[in-house]
Amino acid sequence: MNKSNFLKVALAQISPVWLDKKQTIQKIKNTIEEASKEKAELIVFGEALLPGYPFWIGLTNGAAWNSSVQKEIHAHYVQNSITIEKGELASICNLAKEHRMAIYLGIIERAQNRGGHSIYASLVYINQDGVIKSVHRKLQPTFDERLTWAPGDGHGLQVHPLKNFTIGGLNCWENWMPLPRAALYGQGEDLHVAVWPGSDHNTKDITRFIARESRSFVISVSSLMQKSNFPKETPHFDKIIKNAPDTLVNGGSCIAGPDGEWILEPVINKEGIFYETLDFSRVLEERQNFDVAGHYSRPDITKLHVNRDRQSTVSFED
């Protein structure tokens, strides 16, 4: 048996300590420690888990112009976002190295190379040596997300080796975008990670579709959020919970195999870590009849150009 063909994965379907980065980091670390006891080699967390998804926008008239309510909640959000350059993920990286566990983590990133005041929904990949290998800023925030998140760039459209697998990932509705998917397929991706704020209505169709299109394993991981998860210390707490349903997102984390069939069906309304072991040979079996970037492609006719420069408004020459 080739041990490099087998990868034990952990899907961390948890809620954040909403908009509290210190406590959410501690919860993430506790989850990694728990997964290490099960010998997980890869753990995936949902979109924007650290420090949480901007649920307030849809609950408090987020599009109101020059609203003191929106400004104050947004400022609180920015202050609880993550500046990677300041080492705010160092303790998580140390755990990855200690337990030889790769990590995909959805964060709200306060990017210093863009001035340090705007925020991005970013997907961070930390390898088993505890090194951050890519930070993918969501290319296009969806609908009301655009009221708080800035659009990203192509720098993070990267894949990474993990045992015999080649792993890549996208945020939420980016997974519906054919060209970013193609950018990952063309780099040899055969284990695709899709992260979501939550709910099976997001994951139940696209997870199996991407698996069947790419003949890859697809891991979808979502967060959870209940009305009871909003901390009372949050600015304008009363306004936020006034219109909040009891369940804002119900999870829906799942895994599809390279044939598009379920390995783990969407799990809803359950907080926890869900484990599966993936066999790389299944990828090779399904690529026999279809390989979207290989023998079934026609690059002489259609070809994708990808700009992976990290975008910034200023370029200095000292």
* CATH label of the domain that carries residue 118: 3.60.110.10
Residue 142 falls inside a structural domain: yes
Closest-CA residue to 254 (of 264, 243, 245):
264
**pLDDT tens digits for the chain (318 residues)?**
689 999 999 999 999 999 999 999 999 999 999 999 999 999 999 999 999 999 999 999 999 999 999 999 999 999 999 999 999 999 999 999 999 999 999 999 999 999 999 999 999 999 999 999 999 999 999 999 999 999 999 999 999 999 999 999 999 999 999 999 999 999 999 999 999 999 999 999 999 999 999 999 999 999 999 999 999 999 999 999 999 999 999 999 999 999 999 999 999 999 999 999 999 999 999 999 999 999 999 999 999 999 999 999 988 899
Question: Looking at residue 315, what is its pLDDT?
Answer: 86
Residue 289 falls inside a structural domain: no
Q: Could you tell me how far CA 70 lies from the centroid of its own chain?
A: 25
Residue 169 falls inside a structural domain: no
Residue 78 falls inside a structural domain: yes
Residue 295 falls inside a structural domain: no
Close Cβ partners of 255 (under 8 Å, ≥ 6 residues apart): 9, 11, 207, 217, 218, 219, 220, 262, 263, 264, 276, 278
Q: Check residue 87 and give left, alpha or beta (phi > 0: left; psi -120 to 50: alpha).
A: left
Where do we find the tokens 């190295």?
97
The total of other beta-carbon atoms located within 10 Å of residue 157's CB is 25
Residue 182 falls inside a structural domain: no
Give residue 75's identity as a one-letter amino acid code. Answer: A
The count of domains in the chain is 1
Close Cβ partners of 118 (under 8 Å, ≥ 6 residues apart): 110, 111, 150
Residue-number span of the structural domain to which 27 is assigned: 3-153+220-254+264-281
Question: Looking at residue 45, what is its pLDDT?
Answer: 98
Tell me the pTM: 0.97
Question: Looking at residue 1, what is its pLDDT?
Answer: 66
Residue 42 falls inside a structural domain: yes
Residue 276 falls inside a structural domain: yes
Closest-CA residue to 172 (of 137, 134, 132, 217):
137
Contact 285, 258 (CB under 8 A): yes
